[in-house]
């Protein structure tokens, strides 16, 4: 008699689920994945395709995408051995967690936070120390530090600005956590371009226990290209590189990144537009008595409505897709939507006002 297939697998699989996005990928007004509403201009796509045509498609790319890494290191003004490029920052998260965690290691995760952190930690059978946000959804930096010390955690992951709350840790609090805690600290800056706070990158030279994570999927509008980066002290970077999947980034992603960095003013313009719209929508939503809106440092806003499920479905039936984040700790009846084009935002506002 053979064993049940599930008994042959990693026991951690019993505690995790397949990643899914409720509501699917298609909608007239798609605001559910914190993407940029601006695709690359056609002329730039043409330039990228032209360059890609000349590449040898039969040859492996570099083991690590050095061209992309050089371009981004130059852009940030750091040395090339301080950065690693990945196939989206999700891939980098797996790599960093593999390098930092094993059964019995302790990871501190503020809650609610980006769901992938808990999933990978469970997969690696690490012990999770969860520290709740405040009821305002703000971080509780003092408690984070206290718990990290009490529990002697090995690894701390901070999404700041945070998905799904939209709130940031202050630059001072990040520095305190990195300096005071005897742990590797991963600062996921997926939304940093939209933040009122400064990046933790300035701490890299001083703090050998800090890793900063960046994605090109949000402000740089390259979600479809799958580009992420880790930045850290070269000694730590050399260790992080060990579990990295070889050849994971395509030649196409490298070339695209080079072009987008060359025309970075387009990113800056898009970010200004999104910040202007974020402010406008925030003010409009503040005028709707039956909902609460939270201040955000990201390209998305969180609202609390009387019945999130009902509002979610009413929006879907009008072709507007948002994310129901009610399942997260402290976020009962909350919906999340990213800032879209002005006319898309107007459609959302009109519908919310009518509801």
Ligand X SMILES: Cc1ncc(COP(=O)(O)O)c(C=O)c1O
Residues 6+ apart with CB under 8 A from 70: 80
The least distance separating ligand X from the CB of residue 177, rounded to whole angstroms, comes to 17
Site for ligand X in 208-267 (CB under 6 A): 215, 217, 223, 228
**Enclosing H/E stretch for 85:** strand 83-86
Is residue 57 reached through a cis peptide bond, with omega within 30 degrees of 0 on the bond before it?
no
Choose one: 1-9, 84-92, 125-133, 316-324; the region binding ligand X (CB under 6 A). 84-92
Instruction: For residue 163, state whether it binds ligand X (rule: CB under 6 A).
Output: yes
d(CA 121, CA 177): 20
The least distance separating ligand X from the CB of residue 51, rounded to whole angstroms, comes to 23
Instruction: For residue 34, state whether it binds ligand X (rule: CB under 6 A).
Output: yes
Q: Which of 289, 287, 354 is nearest to 320 (CA)?
A: 354
**Near ligand X by CB under 6 A: residue from 118, 188, 277, 344:** 188
When the beta carbons of 163 and 195 are compared against ligand X, the nearer one is 163
d(CA 6, CA 82): 41
The least distance separating ligand X from the CB of residue 89, rounded to whole angstroms, comes to 3
The least distance separating ligand X from the CB of residue 56, rounded to whole angstroms, comes to 27
Instruction: For residue 326, state whether it binds ligand X (rule: CB under 6 A).
Output: no
Instruction: For residue 178, state whether it binds ligand X (rule: CB under 6 A).
Output: no
Which residue bears the tokens 């990158």?
201
**Near ligand X by CB under 6 A: residue from 190, 255, 301, 305:** 190
Long-range (24+ apart) CB contacts under 8 A made by 116-125 are 116/19, 116/90, 117/93, 117/157, 117/159, 119/16, 119/19, 120/93, 120/94, 121/97, 122/12, 122/15, 122/16, 123/10, 123/12, 123/13, 123/16, 124/12, 124/97, 124/98, 125/12
Instruction: For residue 148, state whether it binds ligand X (rule: CB under 6 A).
Output: no
**Near ligand X by CB under 6 A: residue from 89, 233, 324, 338:** 89
Q: Which of 318, 317, 284, 285 is nearest to 304 (CA)?
A: 285
The least distance separating ligand X from the CB of residue 215, rounded to whole angstroms, comes to 3
Instruction: For residue 88, state whether it binds ligand X (rule: CB under 6 A).
Output: yes
Which residues in this chain contact ligand X in the complex, by CB under 6 A? 34, 88-90, 114, 159, 163, 188, 190, 215, 217, 223, 228
């Amino acid at each position: 008699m053979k064993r049940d297939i599930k008994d042959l697998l990693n026991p951690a699989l019993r505690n995790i689920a397949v990643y899914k996005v409720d509501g699917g990928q298609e909608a007239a007004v798609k605001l559910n994945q914190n993407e940029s509403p601006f695709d690359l201009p056609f002329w730039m796509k043409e330039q990228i395709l032209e360059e890609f045509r000349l590449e040898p498609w039969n040859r492996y790319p570099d083991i690590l995408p050095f061209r992309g890494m050089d371009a981004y290191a130059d852009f940030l003004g750091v040395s090339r051995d301080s950065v690693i490029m990945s196939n989206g920052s999700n891939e980098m998260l797996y790599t960093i967690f593999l390098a930092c965690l094993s059964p019995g290691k302790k990871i501190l995760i503020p809650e609610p936070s980006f769901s992938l952190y808990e999933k990978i930690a469970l997969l690696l059978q690490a012990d999770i120390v969860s520290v709740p946000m405040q009821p305002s959804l703000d971080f509780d930096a003092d408690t984070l530090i206290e718990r990290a010390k009490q529990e002697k955690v090995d690894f701390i992951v901070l999404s700041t600005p945070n998905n799904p709350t939209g709130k940031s840790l202050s630059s001072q609090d990040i520095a305190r956590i990195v300096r005071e805690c005897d742990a590797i600290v991963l600062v996921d800056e997926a939304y940093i371009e939209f933040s009122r706070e400064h990046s933790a990158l300035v701490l890299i030279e001083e703090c050998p226990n800090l890793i900063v994570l960046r994605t090109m999927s949000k402000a740089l509008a390259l979600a479809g290209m799958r580009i992420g980066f880790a930045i850290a002290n070269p000694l730590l970077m050399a260790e992080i590189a060990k579990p990295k999947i070889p050849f994971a980034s395509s030649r196409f992603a490298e070339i695209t990144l080079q072009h987008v960095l060359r025309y970075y003013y387009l990113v800056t313009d898009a970010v200004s537009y999104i910040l202007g719209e974020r402010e406008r929508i925030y003010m409009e939503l503040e005028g709707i008595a039956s909902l609460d809106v939270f201040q955000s440092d990201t390209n998305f806003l969180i609202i609390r409505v009387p019945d999130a499920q009902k509002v979610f479905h009413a929006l879907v039936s009008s072709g507007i897709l948002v994310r129901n984040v009610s399942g997260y700790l402290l976020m009962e009846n909350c919906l999340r939507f990213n800032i879209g084009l002005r006319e898309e935002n107007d459609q959302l506002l009109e519908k919310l006002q009518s509801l």
